[in-house]
Amino acid sequence: MKSMRLFLPFLIVTLACSFSNTLATPTLSAPTLADPAVDSVSPAPTAVPVSSGPLLYISGTSHIESAPKSWPDHDAFLAFLQQVTDLGLRWSVGADVGWLEGEPRAAEIIQKSEALGVQWDVHTHDTADRAKAAWLVTQLGGHPNSVVSGMLVTELDAMRQPLTYQGYTWTPQILWGGTNCPGHRPGCDDLAAGLWSPLSSDQYQVHDPNGTLIRVGGGTHQLADALALARSISAGAYDHPVISFTIMVVPSTLRIVESADGIEQIADFARQMNAYPFVRWATIEEIAQAWVQAGRIPSRIEMP
């Protein structure tokens, strides 16, 4: 019984990660949302006031799984995080408990990456591991944020209250990534861009004006699709104040998920995106904060 209970979530997470590679565990509390740092996330140039139209927030993220064969090369991973940071991108990492407990240099990677401005989301394949993963990050000298990086939409209600592990409490506030059906079959992943507060597991795509959990849609994670979204916004296709998209890189290959695009293509992508005055670089958590600051206007955008 126990093995079944543990195996199913693991299978679901594994499949979800292999496909979209994006899950985390968050909690946006009032203090976090009211953080003065919000104002410094993406200061709008005076020539482009926020009220002038949509802002497209781009985040970058990576998931490190529990299986050692999928772990990144330490130095190459840190060098990559340095490179994307130098490009002006904002990045987050979500590591499952296997890596947090088993990687000898986990503390070094967490601390050095945080010094670069990288944030640590909570990504686990088992609901019960989320508070443990957050706790482990703190034990390794890091500061986990409130982002649930990946989940089944059926886990929504379980994320509505603080989670605990050995007396440590971690409160999800932001939901990123996710899948609609076990097995991660085609069509299961929710690849929408944009933000909203999910009403319920059954009506996950419906915005709840009174909702507290914030869904940050990552889109397809592909560079070309983010560029296409930017072109659409430039053409006036949307009027939502805040729109989100996340590019995702596999830590062991340092390439965009399901793509051959690496740091060179990401650098070119950054140059192209920076040509749009409405593009901002922010972490998943920072995007949620910007969305709150802008009035919580739902901006779910379906993507192919």
- Interface with Zn ion (CB under 5 A): 17, 63, 65
Shortest Cβ contact with Zn ion: which residue?
17
CB of 135 to Zn ion, least distance (A): 18
Judged by beta carbon, residue 65 or residue 121, the one nearer Zn ion is: 65
Phi–psi pair at 2, nearest 5 degrees: -65, -40
Judged by beta carbon, residue 20 or residue 244, the one nearer Zn ion is: 20
- HEC states along the chain? CHHHHHHHHHHHHHHHHHHCCCCEECCCCHHHHCCCCHHHHCCCCCCCCHHHCCEEEEEEEEEECCCHHHCCCHHHHHHHHHHHHHCCCCEEEEECHHHHHHCCCHHHHHHHHHHCCCEEEECCCCHHHHHHHHHHHHHCCCCEEEEEECCEHHHCHHHCCCEEECCEEECCCEEECCECCCCCCCCCECCCEEEECECCCCCCCCECCCCCCEEEEECCCCHHHHHHHHHHHHCCCCCCCEEEEEEEEECCCCEECCCCCCHHHHHHHHHHHCCCCCEEECCHHHHHHHHHHCCCCCCCECCC
Judged by beta carbon, residue 63 or residue 300, the one nearer Zn ion is: 63
Judged by beta carbon, residue 57 or residue 120, the one nearer Zn ion is: 120
CB of 253 to Zn ion, least distance (A): 15
CB of 148 to Zn ion, least distance (A): 12
CB of 108 to Zn ion, least distance (A): 22
CB of 77 to Zn ion, least distance (A): 16
Judged by beta carbon, residue 24 or residue 195, the one nearer Zn ion is: 24
Judged by beta carbon, residue 125 or residue 240, the one nearer Zn ion is: 125
Q: Are strands 144-149 and 24-25 parallel, antiparallel or unpaired?
A: antiparallel
Judged by beta carbon, residue 19 or residue 204, the one nearer Zn ion is: 19
CB of 163 to Zn ion, least distance (A): 17
CB of 63 to Zn ion, least distance (A): 5
